[in-house]
Amino acid sequence: MLGRCAPGSPRSRPVVRALPPSASALRQRLRQCAERIPEAEAVLDLLEKCPEHQKKGGFPVIVFEGLDATGKTTVTQAVRDTLSGVLLRSPPACISQWRTVFDDEPTPIKRAFYAAGNYILASEIAKASTQAPVIIDRYWHSTAAYTIATETSGKVQDLPPAQDEVYQWPEDLLKPDLVLLLTVDPEERVRRLQCRGLEKTKEEAELEANILFRQRVEESYRRMVNPACQEVDASPSKEEVLKTVLQLIKKHCGF
């Protein structure tokens, strides 16, 4: 679980402080700031309604991860349509309107918000996966990767070691069947961002300005385990990328 540091891994301690390791720890952190932040009380109310240890239904649950402008929106929509599935996003719609509030808070509170979103999303996944394949645009790996990269300074080699428990999936969070990490060449990703002309998030601006931060995020994604990310080159045409993705889904999910 994320809350336990592997022996001899002091570099993971800032991550543990920034990212609560379980739903119960999240509730505690949200309670601490709820009096000052009314939206935290609202998130806490939603989190309290989520049953512990959610279990998925009989249909596959497939997560797409990656930096902005790697094609997640296009691919997830295409996979949803091809598989007649349900498309969900993190943070879920019921709390996404409060992102700007929490993005301006200190890192531990901001990460508690995004981590709580994953547990709330798990309830939606559990229900939806009884009816159809579930396609998810970002989930726990995004929350963890950005936290690890933010709480670590310097180069990739300054990250917690590859076997550190900060890269483990939380024991009390519903687990997907497959996680696909979309990647593109850094120059191509910047070109796509410029074409979109959208307002950048703080973290996206940091990704552009700080190559070391971007490298730490991507390497953190690659070190995630249980489940690990299956990397997909999203540089080719939409049709080619979709074909590759569907082959991986068939291989790993038998669907």
Q: What residue spans define the domains of the chain?
A: 21-253
Per-residue pLDDT of the chain (255 residues; tens, 9 = 90+): 344 444 445 666 667 677 777 899 999 999 999 999 999 999 999 999 998 888 999 999 999 999 887 889 999 999 999 999 999 999 999 999 999 999 999 888 998 999 999 999 999 999 999 999 999 999 999 999 999 998 888 899 999 999 888 999 999 999 999 999 999 886 766 676 666 555 555 666 666 557 888 899 999 999 999 999 999 999 999 999 999 999 999 999 987
Distance CA 2, CA 81 (A): 34
Determine if the pTM surpasses 0.85.
yes
In this prediction, residue 1 carries a pLDDT of 38
The DSSP bridge partners found for residue 166 are: none
Torsion of CA 180, 185, 188, 189, to 10 degrees: 50
In this prediction, residue 8 carries a pLDDT of 41
Cβ of 27: how many Cβ atoms within 10 Å?
18
**Order of strands across the sheet that contains 134-137:** 86-89, 134-137, 61-65, 178-183, 229-233
Distance CA 37, CA 75 (A): 36
Distance CA 162, CA 157 (A): 10
DSSP string of 148-191?
HHHH--SSGGGSPPTT-GGGBPPTTSPPPSEEEEEE--HHHHHH
Distance CA 76, CA 112 (A): 26
- Give the SS3 label for residue 209: helix
Report the relative pairing of strands 134-137 and 229-233 from DSSP bridges.
Answer: unpaired
Distance CA 18, CA 110 (A): 9
As its CATH architecture, domain 21-253 has 3-Layer(aba) Sandwich (3.40)
Q: Are 188 and 66 in contact (CB under 8 A)?
A: no
- Give the SS3 label for residue 134: strand
